Amino acid sequence: NLAYPGCKALDPSLVGDGECNEENNNEQCGKDGGDCCEVRSSEFWGDSVCHGGFFNGWACKNDNGDCVNFQGAYPECNHKFNATNRKGKPVILGDNECEFIPEYMNDECGWEFGDCQSFKSEYKLFQEKYPGCDPRLAFNETGSLKIDDDTCNPELLSLECEYDGYDCCSNKSLHGNNECDEINLNAECGWDNLECCFNPLPIEWVNDGFCDQDLYNKMCAWDGNDCTADYVDQYPECDFTLLNLYYFGNGQCDSIFNNTECSYDKGDCDVIGIDNVVANYTFYPFRDSYYSETIMRVDWSDDIIIFAGACDDDPTCKGFNSAGWLKDTIKSQSDWYEWGGANEGLYMKTIYEDLYT
């Protein structure tokens, strides 16, 4: 095949015959002469308008010839990605609309073929101040930065985007006052700018690229994004906010994680259900409601089932702990304290769960 002299196709006539032949789907054969182009069947391929991303790759013949001028001007530009505009359509290069696509915001790609030239200075300042924040979300259609513009943009509520400059926070005036304001312990208020993060570990360890299990709590902004890859992404339905990450997959079965969403404590729980699961009660390991009003202590036994039976027999009993103390009052969960070992904690009657959690 004269068009692809390095191609070792067994049947050269198959190269560029309109069908993708996987044996010729390689660089030497030009992705089977363009037949294996990822977007060949798209209505936008070869429609006389230059589209970016996969469309403009060599395998797709520079959008079937539509992007020849672009490729001639910027031969080093990388197009090996899916480039879409704000409406989810293939981005058009050189249409006077800057889409702020990071891969195109550089000299090699002509700042999106000239569309973003006038925003070069703003974009570079943005990169310095908000590294990691997606510019496609941060800039509006006119090229204005949406962060800290006194308008709430929920899509920017992330550490990288500085929680939209706290524009979604109803108590923005408290930001940066060097005091712990529990009312601001939420994403909208940037987890109170870590001013509630009282921890033996250095605050600089938050979002340092390493997951620190003791920093994974709301006071410390869930350790930034450091624990996302190892925990949240792998177990997206597992609720890691209920217990220190240290106990997840630590070799002991912890009932909080003993469910399908958490892969049964990452395999620590061999079977569904363990000894501390009691019908009609919710178990909270390592927790107790301190100074709650107690009815009595069942001191003649250490059997959880007997404790539950004694609580069932008393209509004023709301729950009990593993030490056998029956309780007629339980404080809200925010007032609980850490107590006991892996299979010790607080048992609350399920009917009262919504009142205290």
- In total, the chain counts a number of residues equal to 357
Q: Note the pLDDT of residue 137.
A: 94
Q: Note the pLDDT of residue 116.
A: 94
Q: Note the pLDDT of residue 87.
A: 86
Q: Note the pLDDT of residue 44.
A: 94
The DSSP code for 91 is P
Q: Note the pLDDT of residue 273.
A: 43
Q: Note the pLDDT of residue 74.
A: 92
- Angstrom CA distances, 176 to 165, 200, 276, stand at 12, 21, 44
Q: Note the pLDDT of residue 293.
A: 66
pLDDT, mean of each 10-residue run, the chain (357 residues): 78 83 82 77 91 86 91 88 87 93 93 92 94 93 93 93 93 88 91 87 88 90 88 89 84 81 81 59 84 71 82 90 89 82 81 74
Q: Note the pLDDT of residue 357.
A: 61
Q: Note the pLDDT of residue 272.
A: 42
> Residue 95 has which token pair?
């249409």
**DSSP labels for 225-259?**
TTTIIIIITTSTTS-TTSS-GGGTTSSS--GGG-S
Q: Note the pLDDT of residue 1.
A: 59
Question: pTM (2 decimals)?
Answer: 0.59
